[in-house]
A and B are shown apart, each in its own frame.
Chain A
């Protein structure tokens, strides 16, 4: 950009030089303005995060206490806590991860290592579409397939819905990461006479370990924060449900959703407390991911 006025000035008459000077100053102004606009846009992007963090931390910290962590809810918000939701979220996300992580990683491996160009494109496209499907639709699918036939709202259906949300995220990140692993490494393995599956398992996957783990953790964080797929499946429950996946189960997002719209201040406070717990969990997962990848880069 800065070279253009110079060449103009060198090849044209003085008029062109003056013109170039004017243009140059206008460019500078436009540059300033656009820089400011871009900065403002960046701030608009960052500010909500800061506001959310600040708000949830301030409101949530006031509501955070031992009861919230250790007691089930009581009617009318007279004491009690979110134990049902905390345990429910942990269980449902854990089971969802148990299903989604192997499927997702293997799916990613297939697309990156074994698939023909055509089927890779098909799977990639399907995964991209799945990532974009509104989560409420996934909830309705799980409701139709796993709630209506069994005539019972159940946590298993909730886990399946969450797994359906996690799988495409893991497939795509795994595939992207494995494609970054240099071909020479694979060739080196194969040249030693190691079978393909062994090369994938012992060479390619370990090389992309950090990235694959990042995908898994992001998927876990995403699933932990989902409300919509659980409304029709796990339904929510005021009882502490440990291990009974055939029964309704609560989750932190459901607890927040139900508590926040109550006209009772004590329940609103509990919802803020639960929001802080959820935020800490999701942030914790994100930070863990970052820390791992930084550590990797440093080492």
Chain B
């Protein structure tokens, strides 16, 4: 009830607005004139968008936790406008998203790590997966140190903490970056992901870029062999773990830090400035990297991008969809939803701690949406 009523209200308001327009434009509104605008308002979320199917249809998606809150808001808003399309997103981790779209057990997957060549080779024969970027997020350091409200970190120090070579909060290397803070002598408790994670992929890409010890040690990937710390499942699990453990440090997508009201560290960027993670910092990173956005959409995390305001760890997050949809109606619902997310949905991003897609990437994603077919026929020609 709560979900559908705003949709109905806005549809009513739209119909009323059209009716008023019809009133002032023509002599007298006919009953037919009042129904037609209502129908067109329901069919088009934006001009030229793909039509949603008219019958009942259910889409189950699963994957990354990184965009989980954003997708849940999107699903609710889209459902308000399209009550016949039921979309369900389960945040189970990027690794799970790739595994399940490969097994074809979900209508769409989600991951913030792009699929590796080996993972693409493992897809069912004759199928192709499209990576559709939906948002950008920042990977932030969260910590739990009562009394320490500001913490500066740089790459090598962060890598040493996660390598376990810096063990205490008052280590001289940390103290050197935080002359104004009083650091306790407590042990550092590292909290990392236990599941296959795109957040981990972006995070370890960063550590590998700033530390040879990390690159040649644990390395880069959705899962690595952590030298120290405790594992937690999902961005939510890491945020929960850090929140409950004094002395803990972990890494999550910005939104999770905000939701959990956890302190985040400022990170030294390529220009030498300590920047707090913010939507603007991620947008700056994205804008700086647009020119190198790859044709197959499989963009690596944006690490240490240029610019004084740029936050050093940003990453695209993707929906994973089959280029050819087995079920035409489901494919239609999927294209309609993704179109909505790429256009109207972008307005929700900043408020939730995500950066909207740069215009150039958004255009590329919309163009990719046109290529989705069902039985060889384009769904949205």
Residues of A within 8 A of B (CB): 71, 74-76, 79, 147-148, 151-153, 235-239, 244, 247-248, 261-264
Contact = CB atoms under 8 A, between A and B. Distances in A.
B90 A148 contact: no
Contact of B72 (A75, A151, A247, A263): A75
Contacts of B103: 148, 151
B240 A237 contact: no
B72 A76 contact: yes
A235 B60 CA distance: 10
Contacts of B69: 75-76
Interface string B55-85: 0001010100000010011011000000000
A161 to B, nearest CB: 15
A236 B62 CA distance: 10
B240 A74 contact: no
Contacts of B49: none
* 9 A-B pairs closest in CB distance: A263-B260, A263-B239, A75-B72, A151-B104, A75-B73, A262-B236, A261-B237, A237-B88, A263-B240
Interface of B: 2, 58, 60, 62, 69, 72-73, 75-76, 86, 88-90, 103-106, 232-234, 236-237, 239-240, 243, 256, 259-260, 262
Given A75-B72, A76-B73, A263-B262, A235 B90 contact: yes
B240 A262 contact: yes
Nearest to B142: A263
A153 B2 CA distance: 27
A261 B236 CA distance: 6
B261 to A, nearest CB: 8
A150 B273 CA distance: 53
A75 B89 CA distance: 11
Contact of B90 (A151, A236, A244): A236
19 contacts: A74-B2, A74-B76, A75-B72, A75-B76, A76-B73, A148-B103, A151-B104, A152-B105, A153-B106, A235-B90, A237-B60, A238-B72, A247-B58, A248-B90, A261-B232, A261-B237, A262-B240, A263-B236, A263-B243
Nearest to B232: A261
A264 B252 CA distance: 14
Contact of A238 (B89, B105, B237): B89
B259 A263 contact: yes
B210 to A, nearest CB: 27
B105 A261 contact: no
Contact of B105 (A148, A263, A264): A148
Nearest to B72: A75
Contacts of B104: 151
B254 to A, nearest CB: 12
Given A248-B88, A262-B240, A263-B260, 18 more contacts: A71-B2, A74-B76, A75-B69, A79-B2, A147-B105, A148-B105, A151-B105, A153-B62, A237-B88, A238-B90, A239-B88, A244-B58, A247-B58, A248-B90, A261-B233, A261-B237, A263-B262, A264-B259
A75 B72 CA distance: 5
A248 B234 CA distance: 20
Contacts of B240: 261-263
Contacts of B234: 261
A122 B75 CA distance: 51
A83 to B, nearest CB: 12
Nearest to B243: A263
Nearest to B74: A75
A263 B236 CA distance: 6
A147 B243 CA distance: 36
Nearest to B60: A248
Nearest to A73: B72
Contacts of B239: 262-263
A183 B58 CA distance: 56
A248 B106 CA distance: 10
B291 to A, nearest CB: 34
B105 A153 contact: yes
Contacts of B2: 71, 74, 79
A183 B259 CA distance: 66
Which interface residue of A152, A153, A261 has the most chain B CB atoms within 10 A?
A261
Contacts of B260: 263-264
Contacts of A264: 259-260
A255 B233 CA distance: 15
Given A235-B60, A261-B234, A76 B89 contact: no
A229 B17 CA distance: 52
B296 to A, nearest CB: 25
Nearest to A249: B88
Nearest to A244: B58
A236 B240 CA distance: 21
B71 to A, nearest CB: 9
Nearest to B326: A151
Contacts of B237: 261
Nearest to A72: B3
Contacts of B60: 152-153, 235, 237, 247-248
